[in-house]
Amino acid sequence: MSTKVTQIKSGSHVKRESYFIRFRKRWKRRGVIEIDESHNKHPFTLYVRQGLQDSIAATKEFKGQGTDKQYSQEIHRKLVSSHDKTEFEFVTYAPEVFESLREQVDMFPDTYYDRICPDDNEIKYLEFVSNSKSGQNFFLSNNKQLMIKTHTRNEKNFFLKILPSYINHLKRYPHSLIVRYLGLYKITISKHDPVYFIVMQSILYPDERINQRFDLKGCQAGRFTKEQNNDQNEIITVLKDMNFEETKIFLGSQSSWFDLQIQHDTEFLRSLRVIDYSLLIGVQSLHQEEIKENRELASIIVRTKKSTSRQHSVLRHWAQSPTRMMKQISEESEVSQSSSPDENINLPGTVQEENESDTVKSNSTKSTSSIVSPKKSTADSRDSVNESESIMQNRRLLPQCRNELHIIDGSNQERYFIGIIDFFTPFGLKKRCEGIFKAMKYKKSGYSYSTVNPDAYADRFQEFLKKHVV
């Protein structure tokens, strides 16, 4: 009898565990739809996957053709689908340029391949479901780190035109909040119209604990979204400016860094004469162990190392433990093993976080200098930046987590995922006419609207964010 009872209890335990696992999987897939064989876009994603696989391999053949040709390079490949034998053409634009950009964020060819070209036994892609009105298709890699977004031909042409300026801006400001685009492609299936798409880093990654999302342009007209209580697989609601009126972003000591970086990024977009870009924000509550880790000396040293490195990793440093990284940095920078939490690791050109300044006091300028500009065993002095360069590039103390370039831990025990997106809309004749129409439409209400000249848009964007960041 007791044996039977034990079996029943054991069976119920397994049942509860499997339910928990299923619930967790459903929660992690919230707001997305798995693209399986029953999905109407499944064949298209198979063509995309095969094209990307071929593109990554073919890029190696285009290495070293000269910097003057890199921005105009195109790889054209005629392929036959391994799925249904359909013929299609796959075009890769500026392969060397984007490969170089991917390497700056630790997305090397093998890593990029694994993320964007999953194995046959894995979920291929996820369809992202939101209240976006852009009319474009959005797909996510199976770990939701990368996003595939379709674009129009005009947007593709415009991006290629501004690509050199975009790359130069990211080199000048490595901690820029502007989203990192990692590849530009075209696919033409049989006799259908070509589809242009771009691969980009998802700013809201990892998103499992994000409880609010905002898309902000700094205007009022059409910028309200009705909040909904979403179920597991329903649309993820992205709120807008009118929902954000009473909301503040609590960055504390990092607010001055944020204001300056928004200014740098907005002035760059102003120079491109574009409008309709927005700031995407995700809000997540921090766990106590995450807050504690932010204050630990080992974590601060790791983050300082990353912040002054020319390689702006999103995975490599995060994958190593703080203890291991502390040992490595100590050896490279000749930091004394007797270092204690009383020493201040203060990054030049950034604002020290309040939590860290409470824990780490300054009494060793020599130790600080050696960590900021570590002495390398190799002759390559380009692995790190000096103090003046750090100030000029507006670098900050990067967090010890994934997607570090788009994450800021606030002063209110919240983590903010922040990035500037959608800057492919030049202020041409069509937008000028649209602006005249909206001026008449919203004259009585006094609502501000998005279609204004780039100077007015940039100024308003900066002022709106200044009012909401404390």
Instruction: Say whether 356 sits in a helix, a strand or coil.
Output: helix
Cα distance between residue 124 and residue 35, in whole Å = 7
Contact 407, 401 (CB under 8 A): yes
Let me know whether 196 and 332 are in one domain. no
Where does the pLDDT of residue 312 fall: very low under 50, low under 70, confident under 90, or very high at 90 and above? low
Where does the pLDDT of residue 316 fall: very low under 50, low under 70, confident under 90, or very high at 90 and above? very low
Asked whether residue 352 carries a pLDDT value surpassing 70, the answer given is no
Q: Which of 258, 352, 339 is nearest to 304 (CA)?
A: 352
Domain boundary (158, 178, 202) is at 202
The burial of 442, by beta-carbon neighbours within 10 Å (0-12 exposed, 13-18 middle, 19 or more buried), is given as middle
Does residue 216 sit within a domain? Answer: no
Domain boundary (144, 178, 202) is at 202
Does residue 306 sit within a domain? Answer: yes
Does residue 427 sit within a domain? Answer: no
pLDDT: is 135 or 317 the higher one?
A: 135
Domain boundary (365, 390, 409) is at 409
Q: What are residue 373's phi and psi, to 5 degrees?
A: -120, 75
Strand order in the sheet with 210-216: 210-216, 278-285, 414-421, 407-409
Q: How many CB atoms lie within 10 A of CB 53?
A: 16
Contact 145, 202 (CB under 8 A): yes
Let me know whether 298 and 194 are in one domain. no
pLDDT: is 267 or 356 the higher one?
A: 267
- Per DSSP, the residues of 282-337 read EEEEPPHHHHHHHH-HHHHHHHHHHHTBSS--SSHHHHS-HHHHHHHHHHHHT--T
Does residue 465 sit within a domain? Answer: no
Does residue 123 sit within a domain? Answer: yes
Does residue 207 sit within a domain? Answer: no
pLDDT: is 365 or 182 the higher one?
A: 182
Tens digit of each residue's pLDDT (9 = 90 or more) over 353-402: 434 434 333 333 333 333 333 333 333 345 788 889 899 999 999 988 88
Where does the pLDDT of residue 229 fall: very low under 50, low under 70, confident under 90, or very high at 90 and above? low
Range of the domain at 396: 288-409
Q: How many domains does the chain have?
A: 2
Asked whether residue 95 carries a pLDDT value surpassing 60, the answer given is yes
Q: What is the average pLDDT across 118-147?
A: 82
Let me know whether 183 and 313 are in one domain. no
The distance in angstroms from the start CA to the end CA of the chain is 66
The burial of 166, by beta-carbon neighbours within 10 Å (0-12 exposed, 13-18 middle, 19 or more buried), is given as buried
Let me know whether 41 and 176 are in one domain. yes
Let me know whether 78 and 181 are in one domain. yes
Asked whether residue 277 carries a pLDDT value surpassing 50, the answer given is yes
Tens digit of each residue's pLDDT (9 = 90 or more) over 26-75: 444 457 889 988 999 999 999 999 999 999 999 877 666 545 678 999 99
Does residue 337 sit within a domain? Answer: yes
Contact 326, 317 (CB under 8 A): no
pLDDT: is 363 or 450 the higher one?
A: 450
pLDDT of residue 309: 83
Cα distance between residue 194 and residue 154, in whole Å = 13
Q: What is the average pLDDT across 14-19?
A: 38
pLDDT: is 369 or 135 the higher one?
A: 135
Let me know whether 189 and 323 are in one domain. no
Let me know whether 197 and 296 are in one domain. no
* Single pTM value for the model: 0.78
Let me know whether 195 and 292 are in one domain. no
Q: How many CB atoms lie within 10 A of CB 158?
A: 19
Let me know whether 196 and 322 are in one domain. no
Q: What is the average pLDDT across 17-26?
A: 40
Let me know whether 181 and 314 are in one domain. no
Q: CB neighbours of 203 closer than 8 A, spacing ≥ 6?
A: 179, 280, 282, 403, 406, 417, 418, 419, 421
Does residue 438 sit within a domain? Answer: no
Let me know whether 301 and 171 are in one domain. no
Tens digit of each residue's pLDDT (9 = 90 or more) over 98-109: 999 998 888 889
pLDDT of residue 67: 54
pLDDT of residue 175: 95
For the domain that residue 124 is a member of, what is the CATH number? 3.30.800.10
Asked whether residue 325 carries a pLDDT value surpassing 90, the answer given is no
